[in-house]
Amino acid sequence: MNIENTQSQMRKGIFEFCILSIIRRGEAYPSDIVEEMRNANLQIFEGTLYPLLTRLKNSEMLTYRWVESNSGPPRKYFSLTEKGETFYQELEQTWNELANGVNTLTKK
Amino acid sequence: MNIENTQSQMRKGIFEFCILSIIRRGEAYPSDIVEEMRNANLQIFEGTLYPLLTRLKNSEMLTYRWVESNSGPPRKYFSLTEKGETFYQELEQTWNELANGVNTLTKK
DNA sequence: TTTTAGTACTATGTATTGCAAAGTACTAAA
DNA sequence: TTTAGTACTTTGCAATACATAGTACTAAAA
């Protein structure tokens, strides 16, 4: 039982919300997403990100298209489906309830 | 991929923090803990709570004593160790960083 | 006295996902 | 042709929330 493990456990379930939020604001490819998360001091690893994007795509929350890049391999740009937008709103509510609950409990 | 599962995943890692916070404020037994969490709109099941308390005890974050109850079986009252207090402070920082990161990212 | 009900705690199997690591593929530069 | 950087894929493992089945204690009811 150590802090790194707990950090990892705390991240579970939260990354879906973060990723959908980023893509909701505009089409993005994985490196964009990593960058935006890093800017918010959130760390996500490729081994997490790619399977998660795949799961979201398979669940019809996201669609993607291939875009040739200037100098390098093609990139997969993701965007939100209507189903994804609905799910995002549920996630937003879920997060807010959880965060409020925790803060209520721990800040007294 | 549905909201209930994501809620469950979001809870991972957070309950340690909540439980230590409750016990930090004063000695408590499991039903006390369930009650305080419910008051904060956080739901924890016995299958989660008891093993978690055991893990925290085994990691020397908590100690406990048995207390006879007025009408019913004896109760296990938990309290925080010094190691638990230190760990709590790390958890508090971890939670604040995570919550700030998520809110920064999703509220823009 | 025995049985029932309520309370308290224990143990275990399952599903899910973050993490780590190994790998493939594309493009441009050396 | 080889190397380096970028982009994506796959898979196995560890940890924990959840569900469930069970044991144990005490008081009240039968």
What's the rounded mean pLDDT across residues A4-29? 95
Q: Where are the alpha helices (DSSP H) in A1-108?
A: 3-11, 14-24, 30-39, 46-58, 82-106
The reply to whether B92 touches chain A by the CB within 8 Å rule is yes
Is B87 within the bounds of a domain? yes
Nearest CA in chain A to B5: A13
The reply to whether A98 touches chain B by the CB within 8 Å rule is yes
User: In terms of residue numbers, what domain contains B7?
Assistant: 3-103
What pLDDT does A108 receive? 64
Is B108 within the bounds of a domain? no
What's the rounded mean pLDDT across residues B64-91? 95
Residue of B6, B94, B104 with shortest CB distance to A10:
B94
Residue of A3, A14, A101 with shortest CB distance to B42:
A101
What's the rounded mean pLDDT across residues A25-39? 96
Please report, for residues B22, B68, B75, the alpha-carbon distance to residue B81 in angstroms, rounded to integers and kept in the order given.
13, 22, 19
Name the amino acid, one letter, at A108: K
Alpha carbon B49 to its chain's center: 8
Report residue B91 as tokens: 């958890």
Residue A20 predicted with pLDDT over 90: yes
Is B43 within the bounds of a domain? yes
> Å from B75 (CA) to D26 (C1')?
12
A56-60, A104-108, B63-67, B93-97: lowest mean pLDDT where?
A104-108
CA proximity to A30, closest of A99, A77, A83: A77
Confidence of residue A28 (pLDDT cuts 50, 70, 90): very high
Residue B60 predicted with pLDDT over 70: yes
- CA angle B93-A33-A17, nearest 5°? 60
The reply to whether A48 touches chain B by the CB within 8 Å rule is no
Give the number of other CB atoms < 10 A from CB of residue A72. Answer: 7
Residue B70 predicted with pLDDT over 90: no
Q: Which residues contact B95 (CB under 8 A, 6 or more apart)?
A: A10, A102, A106, B14, B17
Nearest CA in chain A to B96: A103
What pLDDT does A99 receive? 97
CATH of residue A13's domain is 1.10.10.10
User: CA-to-CA distance for B11 and B22, rounded, in angstroms?
Assistant: 16
Alpha carbon B31 to its chain's center: 12
> Å from B65 (CA) to C6 (C1')?
22
Is B86 within the bounds of a domain? yes
- Predicted complex: ipTM over 0.95: no
Residue B108 predicted with pLDDT over 90: no
Q: Indicate the number of domains in chain A.
A: 1
Name the amino acid, one letter, at B10: M
Higher confidence at residue A1 or residue A78?
Answer: A78
Residue A40 zone, left/alpha/beta (φ > 0; ψ -120 to 50; rest): alpha
Q: Please tell me the total number of residues recorded for chain A in this structure.
A: 108
The reply to whether B106 touches chain A by the CB within 8 Å rule is yes
Residue A25 predicted with pLDDT over 70: yes
